[in-house]
Each structure stands twice: as C-alpha cells, then as structure tokens.
Structure 1
C-alpha cells in the first residue's frame, strides 16, 4: 500500500470532520478545498475584505467552531490546500488538482481518499426559470453569506424544502424579508410524517427559530403553491403562481427557487472494495442528510479508512445511530413535503448551458441511451457537465442519466498552461 497522505477532497463539515479524525489518529492528511476558505456551503465564510456575518442558528456556529478547533489542534498533521479543484484520477491512479492560486496542476498518490464534495441543488423547471433575476436559493444564500448583502428589491422564494424558510429568515435578519415563501408541498396531508418530524428535537428547534423570525417580519409562508411561469416585467419579474385551483400573479425583482439537493456524483470515482487505494464518499456527496449528519459521516468515512489500514475506532457504531436518525428525519420530511411532478411546457429550458429545451428532450427516441441524450440531444455537455441538468433530465425521463464510467478527467475546466506545469507527486 502507498505511503502518501490520506487525501480528503472538500473542506465542508464532512471533509473537515474526516480530516480531523484521521489526523487525531496520527495520520498525515492533505485537505483540498476549491474555495479560498474552509466551510463548504453551510459554513461559508465571508469573502476577503467583508466583515458581514449572516445570522445562523447557534448550533451551526458551535459545530463549526468545534471542527475548526480540532483542525487547529492537529495542524502539524494536516496540509490544507485552498483554491485547488479536484480534476479526477488519471490512468496511473494519481489524483490531480488544479492549483488556481499558482496556476498549475499537481498530482498526489494517496494511501486512501475521502471525497466530500457536497450536493447539487435541484429545481423543477418551468418557463422563464433561466431569466435574469431568477436564481437558485442555494446560490443566493452563498452570496449572502459571502457578502452579507441581500439582493435589492422585492424577493420571492418558491419551491420546496427546508432551505426556503432558512434563507427567508436570513434575508429578513439582513434587512430584506421576502414578500412571501411558497412551499409546493402540503404537509397537513401527511400527519404521520409530521408526527415523526416532531420527535427530532434539534432540526425542529431550528425550524421553530426560522418560523419565529418570519412571523416577526410578517413574511407569509404558503403551502400548496407553485410557480408556473416567469416573464420579464420592466426591471423585474412577473411571476405566475398556482395555489390549489386558482392562479395569481406577483411582481418582484428577484425569484429564488429551490427543490432540494442531490449528492454530487458527476464524474466522482465511486468506492471499489477491491481497489488498492480505498476511496470513500462522505457527507451530502454520499447521502444528503444535512449539516449535522455530515459531521458524523465524515467521522464514519475516516473510521472506515482507519479500518482498511489496520486500525480500529469504537465511535463507528454511535455515528451510524446518528446517521440513521438523520435518515428517518429526511424520510419524514420528504413525505410531508411530497407533491406531484408537473410536466413542463415544451419551451421550458432544461439544459441552460446549451440552451436545450424540453421539446428537444422529447424529440429524442424514447429508448435513447444516456450517451445518445448527451451527444445527439446535447444535454449535459456544457460547463456543468450535467451536474445541474442531470437530475432534472433523470426526473423527467424516470431514469438516471449516468456519467461516464470510469470517470474521465478533467472533471472541471482547466487551462492548458496549468496542465503544462503539472508537478509530479511530491511524496514519490
């Protein structure tokens, strides 16, 4: 087995937890993060030069402070590389990274790797979702966390999931409460699921905090409501919504949409029990269970690496119990917020990178393979390589759109100049 460090890709809660656990066990760790600071999406830090800190629940602040302290305590065994993007694994088994700070690609041959690259936000497309002024709620939250400045003008949040009230509360705390939050699901139709949710104290206390902020700022939260179409309206947007059997129109400056998250698996090497170099997934990139569970899952992945290296750790069983509680919560939440899919109009854009519409997808043969959908339909060939449109296409087809197997690098765009300056594994 190789003698290099354990590579952990992703500096969010799962990656930080995994790196800290491995370093505490005495192993050298290389922690890779594509941003200029650790934190991931949930613990995104203010951008350089910004002193603005977005309001977030105390539990999340405590969790990140504890992870940061663990990383600092084991700093002599953890090498942190920020502004470095995972490009994939080459034919010689080297993990390649684009060091965007120094404009070069570097390689590592690790003893093991933990991939904790988080999740991808999903939406249910509708006509006009690609217009200026429309963005995902997750993207808007990242900008808010980095700059501390909310979008200017009236804001509407729509879609489904717990991110909507969370972001609405943060916008309200930042001085720009949304005009309304539209939740597509109708929780009251699933009383058993609601009863199950009530037993999860930590996430429900967080939800209660968000609800209190929305109530204090008089932000309506409407269930069973969905956006059906968006049109330009001067400097703003004309948003058509359906509430039950009625249609309404709202005029806003920004529409923030969100319909959940999916693990980021596009091009990611999947675990192979027979591989010489163990590769494990962790956090929302393995199973989207939330920020608290990501910390546990990072520890779980690190524990499994230790076991593969002939070490043992008794914390695995307790991590699994916590992860199972998170699974139960997410299952109840999915049942409570379930809503029937809506077939999009033919003119609805599905692949924003290539400008491909639902009519283009329907024009392909019903039994078209994933390769044919990509090459003949030109879906998933743009900059995102199917990370964003892939889940939409899978939902519309009723079958997943698999990526190339095995994944081929580079997974992300990289300059030829950076490739020309590729440096070999410094551990060789």
Structure 2
C-alpha cells in the first residue's frame, strides 16, 4: 500500500510553499488546485498554459520562479492534481474532491492537512453593483492575467485598498488606463497611521512604482471618492460618484469595485485539538497579509507539522509580523466609515435579496434564520460573497456551519456516483 500523503489544498504561494517544504523533508504530498495551473490569484498564468505577460513586480516573478523550481525538484514526492475541487470532509473524516477532468469524486484520508484556500474579496454594496459591466477588481485582474488583454472601453476603478492602484497600473501598462481611481479612504487625515506605514518596512517601493505608472498615464487618483449608484446606459454604465461634497456622473463601459479581502473560511474545516486528522490553515486563508507573507506562512505551517516550529523559524515569524504591522497601518490609513445602503440595494446576488429584505428580519435573528427565513446565502456562493457584507451591516459575524457540511461547491450526481473505493486512502 502506498504511503499516506500529507494533503495541501490550494496551489497559490502558501500552498505551494508548504508542499515544497514538506517534500524537501522527504514526506509524500498531495497538492490540490482548483484551477488548471498552480499560482493562485497573485501568480495566475495565461489561460493557454504559457507564462502571463501582464506586468507585475519583479519580486513576485522571482519568488514564483524559485518556488516552482523547488516543486519540480521534488516531483517524486509531490502529486499535483489540478482542476480538482475541494468538496469537504465526510462523516468518516475523509477529504472529498471533485476531479473535473475525469468527472468523478475521490476521497483521501491524509496523515495531516494544510488548507491554503486564499481570501475572498469584499465590497460595500450600492444600488447597481450587481449589474452587467460591474466586476470586482480581483476578478478583473484574474481575467487580465489569463487573457493578457484589458477590458475594452472606459474603465472606472473604485473602492479601497492596495489592489486598486495595482490593477490600475497593470491596465495602464496593458494599453487601457482607467479614467479614474477612487479611493474611499482619506489617508492625509491619518498622519500617525501614515507614519507607521512608512516605518513598517512594507512594499513601499512597489506602491511607488504603481503611483509612477498612473502618473505617467495621467490617471486621476482621488481619495475620499465613493460610488453612490450605477445604472444601465446603452452598452455601458452611468455611475454616480461623490468626492467630498461634489457629486458627478461618469459614463463608462466597466466599473471595477473592491473594498479589501477576508480569509476564505466558509465551510473550511478549522483546526481542532481533538481532530482525527491534524489541520492547519496557511496564507491568506489564515490571515490576509499578502503574497510575500503567504510564502512564509506556508513554510511555517509545514514546519509546524514537521515539529520544527520552535527551532529555526525566527525569519518566518519576523517576516509575518512585519507584514502584519504593514497591513494594520494600511487599514488605519485607509479607514472610512461605512455608509448605510439604500433599501433597494441588492445584498445577496444569488437570491436577489435586498437590504430592505435584510432589515425586515429581527435584529436578533441568528445566522440560520437569516439564511432560511431571509434566503440570504442560499445560492451558488453559499454566503462566501454576501456573508461579509451581511456581517458588516448587522454589526456581527455570521457563524459558519460547524462542522462544515459537504459538498461545499456544486457537484454533479454522476460524479458523486462514481466515488470509488480504489480512490480512497
């Protein structure tokens, strides 16, 4: 019988780093990735299987080249399964996966598991955010990296966070700079946070490169700017914006929105001291600290499984703390008070439920009552996207189902029926 592997779910920087570290220690690893290639969001490759030529910082390119070389050097100990979806854990403690290539579900019961499922984007809803032509900044960045082509027509980028200037600079380099970037925060009002940001040792040089690119392409970057609503306008959108006390309307083809990221925890099995299979979280799925920190966190998770977390991990711990300090200072610098959405604002896109529908529920409604009585989070995303919005509007987090029930993602009955004992360890 083959040796039982350590399972790593997620082929982004954290998962790949964990897999490489475990393999270099001589352990067999099963690395699962839902896309057709490793890389995650930050290192997404072209759809044709070739290297993406979308501009990105040289540091990221070097990091990913070094990491993939480590994986290639350990091919005899790392089994990589792409186009494979993590479905959850069944009642017998088996991890279930949907292999989209073969159209079958298989199960594995590993020695231990590292879940590096990444993060999800959050937005602050406004009337019209669900319209065609509106997309999250992260989604647009993935499409740009996969196709190598920016969306056609005028683009407005709005929301908050470092991903806004990053994508805007990439769009400019690709030939279609945005008409404007609206940052919700007003960092000049946070001088202490800005000082901490400058001293945090974060990727200030990277931010300066984005700023220089936007300036060279004459892209306006407006702080304190928010989108108030979006409406259909022929083959595009009519977008209402407010900057300070000034209001105006822009006509664009695409509106890209983003208000930060949160760890992807919906339905993810969390670490527990009495678990049959030890589980660790890694990367942005544990704590959203960015691509560089994800590499460190993946390695640290692997070292913890190897029992080496005490000796020799000072560089990883120090690097994670620096990233944490940077993200904390950045969040303070860009902080802005939430704006109560209009009643007609859609909150749950899958079910078409509005803010008025959410307000109709009792203030003390439980997460289960919000789902079943309000019909929020019952669609295809199962609350992954609307959950953070609802939590922010209700003033408290929505607790996830514990333990999580599978399947976490839609799967065909035919694929489930083909679950084979031969595919079980």
Q: Shared topology, TM-score over 0.5?
A: yes
* TM-score between both structures, scaled by the size of structure 1: 0.97
1:426 is displaced (CA, Å) by 4.4
Tell me by how many angstroms 1:314 deviates: 3.1
Could you tell me which residue of structure 1 aligns to residue 332 of structure 2?
335
| Residue 256 of structure 2 is aligned to residue 259 of structure 1 | no
CA–CA separation in structure 1 for the residues paired with 2:393 and 2:60: 35
Partner of 2:380 in structure 1? 383
Per-residue deviation, 1:403:
1.7
Aligned to 2:411: 414
User: Aligned with 2:157: secondary structure?
Assistant: strand
2: CA distance, partners of 1:369 / 1:277:
30
Does residue 238 (structure 1) correspond to residue 235 (structure 2)? The answer is no
- What is the distance in 2 between the residues matched to 1:353 and 1:298? 33
Q: Deviations over 1:177-208 (max 9, x none)?
A: 00000000000111111111112445110000
Alpha carbons of structure 1 residues 402 and 411: separation in structure 2 relative to 1, 3 Å: same
* Residue of structure 2 in register with 1:36 after alignment: 36
Q: CA deviation at 1:245?
A: 1.3
Distance 1:252 1:107 in 2: 47
Tell me how far 1:236 sits from its aligned partner.
1.2
Aligned pairs for 1:301-312 (under 5 A) are 301-307=301-307
- Determine the structure 2 residue equivalent to 1:12: 12
The alignment partner of 1:117 has SS state of: coil
Separation (CA, whole Å) in 1 of partners of 2:388 and 2:424: 38
**Hey, what does 1:229 align to over in structure 2?**
229
Looking at structure 2, the residues matched to 427 and 24 of structure 1 have their Cα atoms a distance apart, in angstroms, of 25
Native 8 Å contact 1:95 1:107 kept in 2: yes
**What does residue 67 of structure 1 align with?**
67
Structure 1 residues 199-223: Cα deviation after superposition (integer angstroms, max 9, x where no partner): 2445110000101110110101000
Query: Aligned to 1:393, which of 382, 390, 393?
Result: 390
Distance across 2 between alignment mates of 1:28 and 1:49: 26
The corresponding residue for 1:351 is 348
How far off is 1:388 after superposition?
A: 0.2
The whole-number CA distance in structure 1 between the counterparts of 2:420 and 2:213 is 51
Q: Which residue of 2 aligns with 1:318?
A: 315
Q: What is the distance in 1 between the residues matched to 2:423 and 2:400?
A: 31
Structure 2: gaps of 5 or more residues: none
Partner of 2:77: 77
Q: CA deviation at 1:315?
A: 3.3
Please identify, of 31-40 and 237-246, the stretch whose mean Cα deviation from structure 2 is larger: 237-246
Deviation per residue, 1:125-145 (Å, 9 max, x gap):
000000111010000000000
Cα 1:99/1:334, change in 2 over 3 Å: same
Aligned length: 424
Distance 1:216 1:273, change over 3 A: same
* Aligned pairs for 1:27-426 within 5 A: 27-48=27-48, 53-307=53-307, 314-424=311-421, 426=423
Partners of 2:189 and 2:66 lie apart in 1 by 39
Which runs of 5 or more residues in structure 1 are unaligned? none
Question: What's the CA shift string for 1:83-121, capped at 9, x where partnerless?
Answer: 000000001110000000110001101000000010000
Match of 2:421, SS state, is coil
Once residues 120 and 322 of structure 2 are traced to their aligned partners in structure 1, the CA distance between those partners, rounded to angstroms, is: 22
SS at match of 1:157: strand
**Matches of 1:28 and 1:338 in 2, distance apart?**
44
Q: Go from structure 1 to structure 2 and tell me whether the alpha carbon gap of 1:425 and 1:368 turns closer, same or farther (over 3 Å shift).
A: farther
Q: Structure 2: how far apart are the matches of 1:52 and 1:139?
A: 16
Secondary structure class of the residue paired with 1:76: coil
3-state DSSP class of the match of 1:193?
helix
Deviation track 1:42-75 (CA, whole Å, cap 9, x = no partner) reads 0000002667510000000001011101111111
8 Å contact kept, 1:109–1:425: no
Separation (CA, whole Å) in 2 of partners of 1:213 and 1:314 = 43
SS at the partner of 1:182?
A: strand
> TM-score normalised to the size of structure 2?
0.98
CA-CA distance at 1:427 after TM superposition: 6.3
Measure, in 1, the Cα distance between the counterparts of 2:365 and 2:202.
45
Query: Could you give the per-residue CA deviations for residues 235-276 of structure 1, whole angstroms, max 9, x where no partner exists?
Result: 111111111112111111100000000000000000012223
Q: Give the distance between the partners of 1:361 and 1:221, measured in 2 at CA.
A: 34
